[in-house]
Amino acid sequence: MTRRRGAELEQAIIQAAADELVKSGYPALTMDKVANRAGTNKNAIYRRWPNRAALGVAAYRQLVDAELVAPDTGELRGDVLALLHQLNRDLSSPKADILRGLLSGIGDEPELLAQLHEQFGDGGAGVWLTVLGRAVGRGEARPAALRPRVATVAITLLRNEYVTRGLTSVDDGVIEEIVDEVYLPLVAGRQPAS
């Protein structure tokens, strides 16, 4: 009966917590269940994370570390749609529920909230700036739009749909609305014909 220690055990705990998150969501994430699934006990968990919220954030990180690649379809609209669809898939149930759950269970711990913010927020700004930069080069977007707050408007609006409504997946129509009514007009060098 080899007894796991250190990093190996830690990884097993995180994986167990991530599995529980996917299966039941954050509100149902109990330390006992995580310990049981990981084949250990609560002590081993509390030695590493101070409370349930911290474990939840660590486990969420495990879920969303998928690399986000900047698409290159040759035109801005295609790139933006591709990115949003990619992120829509990525956020689709149960991750949106998990994120929404975490966002509150943590309200009183700004440090954890900041950690969580990096997981999905401005962490993705780079990709958006890349896509937008190519569009500027093609004359599809104005250079002044190359600012983080502008570049990430689309994903912010999409995420907003998840977080403030209870949705588990956002309709394609909503995505197109965000792109055609908001994002493209916002960054465009000149207004579209419509």
For binding to its own copies (CB under 8 A), which residues are involved?
A: 25-27, 97, 100-110, 113-114, 117, 121, 142, 144-145, 147, 149-150, 153, 156-157, 159-160, 163-166, 177-178, 181-182, 185-186, 189-191, 194
The binder of 51, among DNA, its own copies, none, by C-beta within 5 to 8 A per type, is DNA
Least distance from C-beta 130 to DNA, angstroms?
Answer: 40
Given candidates 46, 86, 103, 188, which one binds DNA under the rule CB under 7 A?
46
Contact 93, 187 (CB under 8 A): no
Contact status: 32 vs DNA (CB under 7 A): yes
Least distance from C-beta 71 to DNA, angstroms?
Answer: 39
Q: How big is the site for DNA, counted in residues (CB under 7 A)? A: 23
Given the complex with its own copies, which of 44 and 179 has the nearer CB atom?
A: 179
Contact status: 41 vs DNA (CB under 7 A): yes
> Encoding tokens for residue 63?
């879920």
Least distance from C-beta 179 to its own copies, angstroms?
Answer: 11
Contact status: 119 vs DNA (CB under 7 A): no
The binder of 61, among its own copies, DNA, none, by C-beta within 5 to 8 A per type, is none
Contact 93, 168 (CB under 8 A): yes
What residues make contact with DNA under the rule CB under 7 A? Answer: 1-6, 9-10, 28-32, 39-44, 46-47, 51-52
